[in-house]
Amino acid sequence: MASNDSTSKTIIVALALCIVCSVFVSGAAVMLRPAQQVNKDLDRKTNILAAAGLLKSGVSIEAQFESVTTRAVDLTTGKFTDAVKVSSYDQRKAAKDPAISEALGDADIAKIGRRANYALVYIIKGDSGIDKVILPIKGYGLWSTLYGFVALESDLNTVAGLGFYEHAETPGLGGEVDNPLWKAKWVGKKTYDENNHAALTVIKGSVDSSRPEAIHQVDGLSGATLTSRGVDNRIKFWMGENGFAPFLANLRAGEA
């Protein structure tokens, strides 16, 4: 009898401890959520500035981001929209909602499954108008979906920078997408050809700078063929008709 009582008490105490610990963990998660959101927003802003080549050390991110205007774009019409609230819109969640996204089918060269109907873009203006536009892009590599930004200069064609803020590619191989030397190879490349067709591509091997098409080409990652192909497909998708091409065309014409 004593043995049974001891076993029961042990179980009760263990359950009580589990409940108490769960309450503490849940409470901590709730209390930390605002701080986590602040850090998440700060990281997003840091990556946007870095992709545009505008990130400065010793200056607060918030101060630097004051020059950036965030707008929502309807990817179907290629025009700015007020259909979603910029401050709370989550493009990842939207892509999973059939009501505000679409299945891509055969057009899904970036292997993202669904594309949200709306996207947030980031605009930096200068004295004579638009100075840079930063666009969110994503696509599957070898092991993971790579999330990042591509920045275009005021001509909406010349690459100002490229950056990735989330992926799980192999360190030393596909993970070289984070290598500053490789990312620097994108700067100055042209996204569209003379007919405004998406032409930017990642090739296998090294670019022959003597050839005219070199202006649209970036070196592939050595030993990471599938990751390179994934980046290539991602760029082609988001710079194409199912991505930001209609928006950029409207922006050039002053009709966005």
Residue 123's pLDDT is 96
Residue 25's pLDDT is 66
Residue whose tokens read 């263990």: 14
Q: Which residues of the chain have pLDDT under 50?
A: 1-2
Residue 24's pLDDT is 67
CA distances 127 to 41, 71, 84, Å, are 27, 19, 29
Burial of residue 173 (CB within 10 Å: 0-12, 13-18, 19+) is middle
Q: What is the pLDDT of residues 108-139, one digit of tens each?
A: 999 999 999 999 999 998 888 899 999 999 99
Burial of residue 110 (CB within 10 Å: 0-12, 13-18, 19+) is buried
User: Using CA atoms, how far apart are residues 214 and 194, in angstroms rounded to an integer?
Assistant: 14
Q: What is the pLDDT of residues 5-38, one digit of tens each?
A: 577 777 777 777 778 777 766 665 566 555 656 7
- List of E strands, the chain: 68-74, 79-80, 101-103, 114-116, 118-126, 129-140, 145-153, 159-166, 201-202, 217-218
Residue 1's pLDDT is 47
Tokens of 193: 């050809």
Roughly how many angstroms between the first and final C-alpha of the chain, as a whole number? Answer: 81
